[in-house]
Amino acid sequence: MYGTHGHTNDREEPGIDAAGRLPAWRGPAILLVDLDAFFASVEQLDHPGWRGKPVIVGGDPDKRGVVSTASYEARVFGVRSAMPSSQAARLCPDAIWTHGHYGRYREMSRKIMGILLDESPRIQQVSIDEAFLDVSPTAHVNEHPILIAQRIQKRVADLGVTCSIGLGTTKTIAKIASDMDKPQGLTIVYPGREKDFLSPLPIRTMSGVGPAAERALTSHGIRTLGELAAADEALLKHIFGKNAEVIMARANGGDLTPVADDDPVKSVSNETSFAEDLSSAEEVEAGIATMASKVGRRLRKKGMRGHTISLKLRFSDRSIRSVQKRLDEATDDDLLFTPLLYRMAREIWEPGIPVRLIGVGMAGFDDDEPTQDALFDVLQEAPSENDVKPIIEDDEKRSGLLAATDKVKDRFGDAAVKFGRELSMERRTTGSGSKNSSDYK
């Protein structure tokens, strides 16, 4: 036991000396800090009456919702992230349900990431509730990693939520270790013990091995990370393709991928599943318009314009079809690309076929800097294959209208403004604000 906050789970005995000093840490020291049942914990922090009770953040049980995060009290009943809400409601009939408050989670997350940044500038945020930290001793800073981890746990706890931390010499090890003891655990894998720690673990424990790879590996008798590390290279190449070498290195504790800054955003998308399938052209186009306007608004907010617009439909049998089109000019204008999306829909769908989910996305930001009059150009140029009539042809009127509706939506919410074809989709969707369930497992 090292701290007063939470407890420390030494995977291997460190051999503390007589004075109780920590043994020197040799080599890289990577932390993975994972906020415990984050969304549910914030709800319990904000609603004192919910503390100690089962709380579920997720979509409605009767509208195809799923569980985003369950508090530990709800997990006792078997409720898990990504579980259909209807099943969760059966397992835990007395749970307190909420769709979640994402602005609030983001606010808490920002505060916590601020603490982490204060502890080490070498940080990689993985998601709203998870980050890697490089706390390797350097010439300038040589505080012991365990002490840093304990201080982080205390500082986070002071904000009213808890975190679990894994400490090891690689990101893979830190990540796996952080999962072994929750909530508020600190699991340490000492330098030199990497293989002992990893080799008995099931393959699925490791990031990068999903259901498909697990199936393939198991069929070849590979069940543990030790077996994976020793597997035939040609076989791994066949299963993981280009990733085979990285996977192998991770499995044997030798993956030295550094803690890196976050990558730039490469795509922006919105999708929604409907409580009941849509099948008429009017309904589907209304759904497309609603998703397109969400994407457009987010693009404008970020100041990004993309070249590649995509449409995804999921049908009643859960199969998925998608289409994407490369645009001649980058855009952030949904009044421009919505009619194109209607046309793309007809490439993969016919009216009458029930549609369960509609997704709209934009990508292709990496090209040239968007020019101020990209919008103007796209309308003036000779018609190309992808050209369709925008909803409002005068581009100045159109962008003025978008700016005005963005403002209203900022103040009053998305539902405040709807164009003709955007029916009120809210009542029909899963009602789940659920976005991110990072406390998967």
Partner DNA sequence: TCTGGGGTCCTAGGACCC
Using CB under 7 A, list all residues that contact DNA. 59, 61-62, 64-66, 68, 81-82, 84, 86-87, 89-90, 126-130, 175, 206-214, 241-243, 263, 265-273, 298, 308, 310, 318, 320-326, 347-348, 356-357, 359, 361, 363, 429-430, 432, 434-438, 440
- Confirm whether residue 394 is marked as ligand binding: no
Copy the structure tokens of residue 351. Answer: 């009216």
Q: Is the backbone peptide bond immediately before 183 cis, with ω within 30 degrees of 0?
A: yes
Residue 82 CB, nearest distance to DNA (Å)? 4
Copy the structure tokens of residue 312. Answer: 């995804």
Alpha carbon 88 to chain centroid distance?
Answer: 21
- Assess whether 143 carries a catalytic annotation: no
Nearest CA-CA partner of 192 in 1, 33, 24, 31: 24
Closer CB to DNA, 121 or 211, in the complex:
211
Residue 239 near residue 232 (C-beta atoms within 8 A): no
* Set 43, 119, 130, 329: catalytic member: 130
Residue 131 near residue 125 (C-beta atoms within 8 A): yes
Return the CA Rg of the chain.
25
Closer CB to DNA, 305 or 398, in the complex:
305
Closer CB to DNA, 62 or 107, in the complex:
62
Q: Which three-class secondary structure state does DSSP give residue 47?
A: coil
Burial level of 124, CB count in 10 A (0-12/13-18/19+)? buried
- Confirm whether residue 406 is marked as ligand binding: no
Closer CB to DNA, 53 or 298, in the complex:
298
DSSP state of 391: S
Closer CB to DNA, 412 or 440, in the complex:
440
The CA dihedral of 256, 261, 263, 268, to the nearest 10 degrees, is: 130
Task: Give the Cα separation of 28 and 138 in Å (integer).
Answer: 10
Copy the structure tokens of residue 386. Answer: 């992808």
DSSP state of 48: G
Task: Give the Cα separation of 354 and 274 in Å (integer).
Answer: 11
Residue 267 CB, nearest distance to DNA (Å)? 3
Residue 81 near residue 92 (C-beta atoms within 8 A): no
Residue 352 CB, nearest distance to DNA (Å)? 19
Q: Give φ, ψ of 302 to 5 degrees.
A: -85, -10
Residue 68 near residue 179 (C-beta atoms within 8 A): no
DSSP state of 203: G
Q: To 10 degrees, what angle do helices 244-251 and 233-240 make?
A: 120
Residue 295 near residue 360 (C-beta atoms within 8 A): yes
3-state helix, strand, coil split of the chain in percent (to 5) is 40, 20, 40
Residue 236 CB, nearest distance to DNA (Å)? 11
Residue 432 CB, nearest distance to DNA (Å)? 5
Closer CB to DNA, 2 or 292, in the complex:
292
Q: Which residue has the tokens 């746990």?
A: 153
First to last CA, the chain: 26
Q: Which three-class secondary structure state does DSSP give residue 235?
A: helix
Residue 321 CB, nearest distance to DNA (Å)? 4
Closer CB to DNA, 82 or 230, in the complex:
82
Residue 315 CB, nearest distance to DNA (Å)? 11
Residue 60 CB, nearest distance to DNA (Å)? 8
Closer CB to DNA, 196 or 277, in the complex:
277
- Type and span of the H or E element at 119: helix 102-119
Give catalytic residues, as residue numbers: 130
Q: Cite the annotated binding site for Mg(2+) by residue number.
A: 34, 129
